Chains A and B, each alone.
Chain A
Amino acid sequence: MSPQAADIRAFSIALGDDALVLGQRLAEWVSNAPSLEEELALANVALDHIGRARMFYGHAAEIAADGSDEDSIAFGRDTRTYTNLLINELPRGDFAFTIVRQFLVDAFNVPFLTTLAASSEPGLAAIGEKAVKESAYHLRRSRDWMLRLGDGTAESHDRAQRAAEELWGYTRELFEPFGAEARLTAARVITDRAALEDAWRREVGATFVEATLQVPQSTWSIRGGRDGVHTEHLGYLLAEMQFMQRAYPGQRW
């Protein structure tokens, strides 16, 4: 594997981890959602993310050609080799927390995947082209919910505001490329995610205003996901998700 192929593989796995971990968090709402329609919506969005993870992992496995596959990548790694951004792994919280997180991530994913679709690497470009259509639909819904929660009852407003305050420090990481990604950016295989930050702040800020919410003013931020340094929450998620393959390695249906 050339050094650049190794970088594409690492980048593809990182994006797969983002999608898989968030997909798992969304799937936790199945049988717990506030209404049947919301349950279907959350499950559908979860499936889109898990399907996206499968495509990124499959692409990584194809590049490596080392006998790995999407399952071994998903089920055969521990927290220190998971490289998802921290915002995706935070516990689902209440409905407001799930929605605010989804909105912040969707609002990033739409422009990010649009640029990925223009990648010079055909595999990444194809996944970006496919996934951006889905994220655009997710954003329509999560943005709509932002307005309804923020401009809804005093209770829903407070919960949405609290969620935004809790999440804000995790959003900085969205705009920080890690080693492999920075090299791919320098080689013009992909474009720089840092360049998306200003437009994201404007878009998110405009929705917060419309939803009568305050854009958090906190200045702390936290990072580490891409280095495999996670919050205490990821280990529990992986333990549950990976239990079967850990107990019965290589077991198939």
Chain B
Amino acid sequence: MVSERRIDIVPAAHAARLAVRRASADEPLWALLDSVMDPEVPALSLWELGVLQDVRRGPERIVVVVTPTYSGCPAMHAMEEAVRQRLAEAGYGDVTIERRLSPAWTTDWISSEARTALREYGIAPPDTTNCPQCGSARTVPISEFGSTACKALYRCEECGEPFDYFKPH
């Protein structure tokens, strides 16, 4: 009997982004930008964070499409500068960065691999407020707003550690 293989279902929102990337003829550019990390959450690249939507070679310049996380996120500017810098280092000096607002950024775009990376980094991913240190479910919110726009502050009642929680959005 053929054993059934269980396949993780990729959330539709993330699958749509993956499809854009897979259909791209410019994979080397995507790979290049995989090394650009969120300055405030260095465990995630801009792609994993869901900010990077598209990168393509235009007739004269490279076009990068990004979707801002929060309207007032001060890191957006730093992210765009980091993208420019990374591309410049690889010899691409002419870069246009387009901001796309719709569809609005959502944490659904953060893949399950990236969620694991977040937890290992010490940040509870959007799907659970369990303590990223000891795994306990006995946690309490300290503040709805944390050290950055995308996070709230929690404390574990079990191990006593405070931790950031990546807010579902």
Name the interface size band of chain A.
20 to 34
Binds A, one of B21-29, B42-50, B97-105: B97-105
Interface of B is mostly: loop
Residue of A40, A48, A49 with highest tally of chain B CB at under 10 A: A40
Name the distance in Å between B33's Cβ and chain A's nearest Cβ: 23
Per-position 1/0 for A90-134, Cβ under 8 A of B: 000000000000000000000000000000001001110111011
**Given A37-B153, A48-B72, A137-B167, A130–B145 Cβ distance below 8 Å?**
no
B138 within 8 A of A: no
Binds B, one of A50-58, A151-159, A217-225: A50-58
**Given A127-B101, A133-B169, A46–B72 Cβ distance below 8 Å?**
yes
B142 within 8 A of A: yes
How far does the alpha carbon of A126 sit from the alpha carbon of B101 in the complex, in Å? 6
B71 within 8 A of A: yes
Please name all residues of chain B whose beta carbon is closer than 8 Å to the beta carbon of A130 when the two chains form the complex: 68, 71, 101-102, 104-105
| Further 19 A-B residue pairs, CB within 8 A, beyond A50-B71, A51-B73 | A37-B145, A38-B143, A40-B147, A41-B143, A41-B144, A47-B74, A48-B70, A48-B72, A48-B149, A51-B70, A52-B71, A52-B72, A126-B102, A126-B104, A127-B101, A129-B101, A129-B104, A131-B71, A133-B169
A148 within 8 A of B: no
**Given A47-B149, A126-B102, A129-B101, A37–B142 Cβ distance below 8 Å?**
yes
Residue of B72, B73, B101, B103 with highest tally of chain A CB at under 10 A: B72
Please name all residues of chain A whose beta carbon is closer than 8 Å to the beta carbon of B147 when the two chains form the complex: 40
How far does the alpha carbon of A38 sit from the alpha carbon of B142 in the complex, in Å? 10
A-B complex: 10 closest residue pairs judged by Cβ atoms = A47-B72, A51-B71, A51-B72, A126-B102, A37-B143, A126-B101, A41-B145, A130-B104, A44-B145, A48-B72
How far does the alpha carbon of A40 sit from the alpha carbon of B145 in the complex, in Å? 6
How far does the alpha carbon of A196 sit from the alpha carbon of B92 in the complex, in Å? 50
B126 within 8 A of A: no
Q: Is the CB of B101 within 8 A of A55?
A: yes
Per-position 1/0 for A36-75, Cβ under 8 A of B: 0110110111111111101100000000000000000000
Please name all residues of chain A whose beta carbon is closer than 8 Å to the beta carbon of B70 when the two chains form the complex: 47-48, 51, 134
Per-position 1/0 for B70-100, Cβ under 8 A of A: 1111100000000000000000000000000
B122 within 8 A of A: no
Please name all residues of chain A whose beta carbon is closer than 8 Å to the beta carbon of B169 when the two chains form the complex: 133, 137
A246 within 8 A of B: no
A77 within 8 A of B: no
Q: Is the CB of A129 within 8 A of B103?
A: yes
How far does the alpha carbon of A38 sit from the alpha carbon of B74 in the complex, in Å? 19
Please name all residues of chain A whose beta carbon is closer than 8 Å to the beta carbon of B103 when the two chains form the complex: 129
In the complex, the chain A residue whose C-beta lies closest to that of B146 is: A40
Q: Is the CB of B101 within 8 A of A40?
A: no
Please name all residues of chain A whose beta carbon is closer than 8 Å to the beta carbon of B143 when the two chains form the complex: 37-38, 40-41
A141 within 8 A of B: yes
In the complex, the chain A residue whose C-beta lies closest to that of B148 is: A44
How far does the alpha carbon of A41 sit from the alpha carbon of B148 in the complex, in Å? 10
In the complex, the chain A residue whose C-beta lies closest to that of B142 is: A37
Please name all residues of chain A whose beta carbon is closer than 8 Å to the beta carbon of B167 when the two chains form the complex: 137
